[in-house]
Structures are given as C-alpha cells and as structure tokens.
Amino acid sequence: MQEKGLLIVLSGPSGVGKGTVRKEIFSQPDTAFEYSISMTTRTPRAGEVDGVDYFFKTREEFEGLIEQGKLLEYAEFVGNYYGTPVDYVRETLDRGKDIFLEIEVQGARQVREKFPEGLFIFLSPPSLSELKNRIVTRGTETEDVINNRMKTAREELEMMHLYDYVVENDQIELACERIKAIVVAEHCRRERVEARYKKMLEVD
Amino acid sequence: MQEKGLLIVLSGPSGVGKGTVRKEIFSQPDTAFEYSISMTTRTPRAGEVDGVDYFFKTREEFEGLIEQGKLLEYAEFVGNYYGTPVDYVRETLDRGKDIFLEIEVQGARQVREKFPEGLFIFLSPPSLSELKNRIVTRGTETEDVINNRMKTAREELEMMHLYDYVVENDQIELACERIKAIVVAEHCRRERVEARYKKMLEVD
C-alpha cells in the first residue's frame, strides 16, 4: 500500500552552484524531502561534521563499500573518492519519502542507469540568457567572446540530454523555487496518480 | 525568435470546483498567465459583465462562429452553447504568453486533438483520499457506500486518461499552488529548454 518516494537528483557542471542551491533548499522549513549525505575519503574541513556534511571514511573503508556494492554511485575526484551510500536511499524511498541527491554529472549518469524512474534536474549556469544578451548587444562584443559563449552553450546542451528538467541558476531563490515546483508537479503526474488509483481499486 | 506560450487546460468532472479554483488563481497577483474568457449563449446572471465573465452572444452569432471555425472547442449544455474563441488563444500563444482555459471535459477532448502539445490538468474531487479513509474505517461503512465510491473512482480513472496531470481539489489554496507549480515545472522541461538552446545556436 505504501507508495514509494521520488529519487531527486540535482547535478550540473562543476562551479554552477549545486551545493549552494542544495543548502538553501534544506534551510527552508517547508522542504518535504530528505537529503542523502555523501560519503568521501577527503579530510574534513574546519567546521565540517561527520554525518552532517559528509560521512568521512578512509580509503580502505570506501573501497570495501565499493566491492560490497554499497554505493549507488561514486567517482574519484582530485585523488579522493566521493559517493552515495545506497542503503539510506533505498530505505527512504521505501518509507514513501522523497530523497534528494546533489552529485556530479558522472555520478548522475550512474544513478540514471540504476534508477531510470528518478527525477533528474540539471542546474545550468545562466548562459542561455547571457548568450541572448550578447547576441542582442552584438556590436559591442568581439567575435571571440561570442564564439566562446556558443561553445559553452553547445557543451551544456550535450550534458543536459540525460536530464528531465533544466533549472537555470540565475538567482538562488528562483532556482530553489523551480526545483521545489518540479517535485510538486511530478507528484501530480497522471501516471503516478493513476497508479495510486489502480492499486486502491485492486484492494477490493 | 519569440518562444511560444503554453496552452494550459484545466478541466474535470462537473461540480468539482473548476470555476472556484480558476477565480482563486486569477485573484493572485503573481499569476503570470492569461485567462481565456469563454463565449456563451446563456443570459448573463446578475453581476456578470460581458467580456469579463463571458462573451455573451446570441445563438445566431454563436452558430455563425462555429461555421467560420472560430471556436477552439464548444459544447451545448442545458440548451446553451459554451465555447472558446480561437483567435485570442492563438494571439496570446504567439506573443509568448501562457494562456489558461477552464472548460468541460468534452471541450478538453476537442482541444487535445487540435493542440496535443498543450498542458492538460485534471481537477479531481478528493475521492482517492476519501476512498482510502473509507477503506480504513471499513467496519463503520456499509458495503453499498464503499461500492459507490469504488464506482466513482473507476469513472474518474477513465476520464483522467487524456490528461498530463491530476490535481486533487482537497483544499482550494493547495490545488492552486499545485497548478502553478506544474506550469513552472513545464517551463523547465528539458525538451523545452533544449529547443530554446538549439534555436539560439542556429542563429549564428
């Protein structure tokens, strides 16, 4: 009878502000989904708390978990491992709660393979609007600047192909609102509601 | 270069409160879409204003517009015609603005045929939650009451099949929030953003 929660994945190019947006979302009291804390082998920075910011593990521990299939996704980044423990994700979904992951693009690709029914949101830099402005003010920009922007836009376009939604990070508050709106909307998708009805009607 | 607006269609079983929800949405100052005023041959009620509540027409005028293909959808209901003038809808979409229609289910079916890319939202009575409650408190309900509820749920299930989203009208404010969230989310759908990027990149 228990309906499963939604797996929400926020990703995007590095430097786009995924962490800032995630922190803002979870500082809002009306956020109804849970955050999946990542695991890492890097040393904690000043003020970081084990089990709050990250689960801090040794390299040996981390590699043991990889071998046991305990990670939903992982990647090595500047000599350190980063990953998502799979058990907490599954337990949360089974409890019918939505869970939120904020991960790198290569991790998102791994999750998409295992959870194609997840909700994949690409956080994009405001390059499209910027590009528009640069084209409009064409006279004042060099050809090089415009070509560079075009190249970046093409790269982003390729990356976003795996995602269901694209949220422009033009303003943090707006980006958070859009992400929360997407989660609300997904719960109203006809296929989901229909599945609920059908389950209900079979009961008798 | 102008991106087209979204055609948003709110429909649902009669008596579910479509009109009330629509009025609430358009009383909110942050609503960013436009309302498509319906046309009717029924006589205005006290306080109703032509061009605000409805466009009031004679039967002859209405039938003339049907013949000229000037209606996106129409239906006869208790001896009167009701319909949506197509020109205003097209002009609004071409201006890049979203437009909102609140119409009966048979009208929604006609619109779906002409605008399959529209956003179709089914407003449902809170029958699913009610059904859940009635099953939970089974001992206290007669078999007849539960069977009636089951029948209604099955009929609604059939009706909602043409729609993209289902919004339960359990509380007007919540229903309005969900509808607005759906519109925000749809603007973030990857296919739409991708189309915008592609248009942009072709420019050069």
ipTM entry: 0.87
DSSP β-ladder status, B99-102 and B34-35: parallel
Q: Cα(A56)–Cα(A78) distance, rounded to whole angstroms?
A: 16
Q: Is A27 annotated as a binding residue?
A: no
pLDDT mean over B116-141: 76
- Check whether B45 has a pLDDT greater than 60: yes
CB pairs under 8 A between A and B: 112
Q: Which residues of B touch A (CB under 8 A)?
A: 121-122, 124, 128, 131-132, 135, 146, 150, 153-154, 156-157, 160-161, 163-167, 177-178, 180-182, 184-186, 188-190, 193-194, 196-198, 200-201, 203-204
Q: Contact at 8 Å (CB) between B44 and B50?
A: yes
Question: Residue B120 belongs to what H/E stretch?
Answer: strand B119-124
Give the model's pLDDT for residue B23: 93
Tokens of B144: 């007849």
User: What residues of A are in contact with residue B166 (Cβ under 8 Å)?
Assistant: 188-190, 193-194
**Chain B: residue whose CA lies nearest to A162:** B190
Distance from CA of A121 to the nearest CA of B (A): 9
pLDDT given at position A132 = 65
Position B133 confidence tier, pLDDT thresholds 50, 70, 90: low
Nearest to A182 among B146, B180, B185 (CB): B185
Q: Is B16 marked as a binding-site residue?
A: yes
Q: How many CB atoms lie within 10 A of CB A123?
A: 25
Q: Is residue A204 scored above 60 in pLDDT?
A: no
Phi first, then psi: what are they for A8, rounded to 5°? -105, 120
3-state secondary structure A41-78: CCCCCCCCCECCCEEECCHHHHHHHHHCCCEEEEEEEC
pLDDT digits (tens, 9 = 90+) for B5-16: 999 999 998 888
Q: Is the pLDDT of residue A203 over 60?
A: no
Domain limits for position B154 = 7-36+98-202
A64 lies in some domain: no
- The mean pLDDT of A41-48, rounded to a whole number, is 93
Tens of pLDDT, residue by residue over B81-122, are 999 999 999 999 999 999 999 998 989 999 999 999 999 999
> What's the number of domains chain B is made of?
1
In a domain, A62, yes or no: no
Among the partner residues A146, A181, A198, nearest to B185 by beta-carbon distance: A181
A49 labelled as ligand-binding? no
- Is residue B193 a part of any domain in this protein? yes
Q: Is residue A73 part of a domain?
A: no
B156, B197, B202: best to mutate for the A interface, most A CBs within 10 A: B197
Residue A34 has pLDDT above 80, yes or no: yes
Please give, rounded to a whole number of angstroms, the shortest distance from the CA of B83 to a CA of chain A: 26
| pLDDT in the model for residue A128 | 65
Please provide residue B165's backbone torsions phi and psi, each rounded to the nearest 5 degrees.
-135, 155
**CB of B175 closer than 8 Å to CB of B169:** yes
Give the model's pLDDT for residue B1. Answer: 46
B181 CA to chain A: closest CA distance, Å? 4
**In this complex, do B193 and A150 lie within 8 Å of one another by their Cβ atoms?**
no
Q: Is residue B79 in some structural domain?
A: no
d(CA A34, CA A18): 16
More confident residue, B204 or A80: A80
Question: What is the number of alpha carbons within 13 Å of residue B4 lying toward its C-beta?
Answer: 13
B interface test, pick of A136, A149, A165 with most B CB neighbours within 10 Å:
A165
Distances from the Cα of A162 to the Cα of A9, A125, A152, A158, B194, angstroms: 11, 17, 17, 9, 11
Q: Kindly state whether residue B138 falls inside one of the protein's structural domains.
A: yes
Determine, yes or no, domain membership for B180: yes
* Edge-to-edge strand list for the sheet holding A80-85: A55-56, A39-40, A80-85, A71-77
pLDDT digits (tens, 9 = 90+) for A146-200: 777 778 778 878 889 999 999 999 999 999 999 999 999 999 999 998 888 887 7
In single-letter form, the type of residue at position B113 comes to E
Q: Which residues on B lie below 8 Å from A138 (Cβ)?
A: none
> Best residue in B190, B191, B204 to probe A by mutation, most A CBs within 10 Å?
B190
CATH number for the domain that contains residue B165: 3.40.50.300
- The answer to whether residue B204 scores a pLDDT higher than 70 is no
Instruction: Examine residue B196 and state whether it is found in any structural domain, yes or no.
Output: yes
